[in-house]
Amino acid sequence: MPLTQALSYRITRGLVRIGKRSRRTIDRVLAASSLVGNPDVFDPDTFSWTDILEQNWQDIRDEMHEILRHRDAVPPLRDISPDHKRIAGDGRWQSYFMWGYGLKSEANIARCPKTSAVLERIPGLKTALFSILAPGAVIPRHRGVTKALVVCHLGLQVPQNLRACRLWVNGKILNWAEGKSFVFDDTYPHDVRNDTNEERVVLLLQVERPLRQPGRALAKTFLAAIRISPFITDAKKKLSRWDQKFRDAEATDKQ
């Protein structure tokens, strides 16, 4: 690694460590600056853009099914984000990224043109992916990175036994339904279980939380630091390698 690149890498890692130590303080400022309150689960009418998702969910689902024709070329989340190894170490949580902290995967987006057109209409979108949870998968209790973002799930493929497949958020049980969405704050403790023999797939979004100052400036700075951090830049390189697997699978189809 060239000296200047190594120095930049170390400086960025140092900033990320500082950010992690200051995260609770930053989140308190963001909560106080929030224009939509600080609930663990948001009222369904809080974000008007959820209507856009639900109105177009069948097109999104159909493109998701096309992606899953090449299931082995969709990476386990642990392979893209080493930070998720603790909660996704068994490889049962796969993720097909279209956006990641504002960075677009042009190849992945090109395979989902209708979904991409919907995503372009979501204000403040930072991350978008198909989140695929295998039968029997468990995501242990954890907290998200920042209150600068809220998380939305749109149900695309949901096991028939709804009670056996659920998201627990700060004491509340949420169940997915196909074509329906909900929004929550993932900085509250949450975990996921799929105690069925069926796969669960959702469109998962991270969207900027509406904020007043000084929270808006603080969130912008924090998200910019994450975007240039090694965790994101390394993930981008890994996604490129997985994209080659997808291209190979598509080429096999054409033979």
Averaged pLDDT for residues 128-143: 95
pLDDT of residue 102: 74
The pTM of this model reads 0.89
pLDDT of residue 57: 98
Task: Tell me the pLDDT band of 115, cut-offs 50, 70 and 90.
Answer: very high
User: For residue 21, is pLDDT > 70?
Assistant: no
Averaged pLDDT for residues 136-151: 94
Averaged pLDDT for residues 161-189: 97
The residue among 147 and 236 whose pLDDT is bigger is 147
Task: Tell me the pLDDT band of 7, cut-offs 50, 70 and 90.
Answer: very low
Give domain limits for the chain: 3-254
pLDDT (tens digit per residue) in 215-241: 999 999 988 888 777 667 677 777 777
User: For residue 134, is pLDDT > 50?
Assistant: yes
Question: Which architecture does CATH list for 3-254?
Answer: Sandwich (2.60)
Question: What mean pLDDT, rounded, does the chain reach?
Answer: 87
The residue among 209 and 91 whose pLDDT is bigger is 209
pLDDT of residue 16: 53
CA distance 23 to 135: 34
3-class state of residue 167 by DSSP = strand
Averaged pLDDT for residues 36-48: 97
User: For residue 75, is pLDDT > 90?
Assistant: no
Averaged pLDDT for residues 59-72: 94
pLDDT of residue 215: 96
